[in-house]
Structure 1
Amino acid sequence: MASIIYGLCALTAMTCTWLLLSTYKKTGYRLLFWSGLCFAGLSINNILLIFDRIVFPTTVDLSTWRLVAALVALLPLLYGLIWEEE
């Protein structure tokens, strides 16, 4: 059951990435771009979670890489929220 939930979370994050970046391409609204980059990083984070918990449950610990991916994912959104003007 956990693998299904992890997979659905990854698919949801990838769908959000696609929707945000495609809407940014149409409208040019910069906050959509930063949000899309954030969700792209969160997609990577979810994929690393699948590898950490399902593929390599006992041999490899990817928790540090998952935390780094989450931090890097949030940095573009933080930048966009602070520095971007309308």
Structure 2
Amino acid sequence: MSSFIYGLCAATSAVCAGMLLGAYRRNKYRLLLWSGLCFVGLALNNVILVLDKVILPDVDLSSLRLLVALIAMTVLLYGLIWDVE
């Protein structure tokens, strides 16, 4: 059951990233770009979670997951703070 939920989280993050980046292509609002890139990182984080917990349970990928999440949040934080429209 948990692998199904992990997969749904990854799919939801990927769909959100696609929608945000598609809206950025149409409207060119930079906040949509930074949010979309953040969700790409969060989707990658969820894919690594599936790898970590379901496919490769013997290998600890928690450090990689945390690094990817940190980079994703840093991208969004950069967009919120320093990117002035």
Please give the TM-score of this superposition, normalised by the length of structure 1.
Answer: 0.96
The answer as to 2:79 corresponding to 1:70 is: no
Equivalent residue letter for 1:75: T
Give the CA deviation at 1:84: 1.7
> What value does the CA root-mean-square deviation take over the aligned residues?
0.6
The number of residue pairs the alignment matches comes to 85
List, as ranges, runs of 4+ consecutive aligned residues in structure 1 with deviation greater than 3 Å.
Answer: none
1:47 alignment counterpart: 47
Unaligned runs of 5+ in 1: none
- The 1-side partners of 2:84 and 2:71 are apart by 22
Which runs of structure 2 are paired with 1:1-12 in the superposition (5 Å)?
Answer: 1-12=1-12
Equivalent residue letter for 1:66: R
Give the CA deviation at 1:23: 0.2
Give the CA deviation at 1:4: 0.6
- The 2-side partners of 1:21 and 1:67 are apart by 23
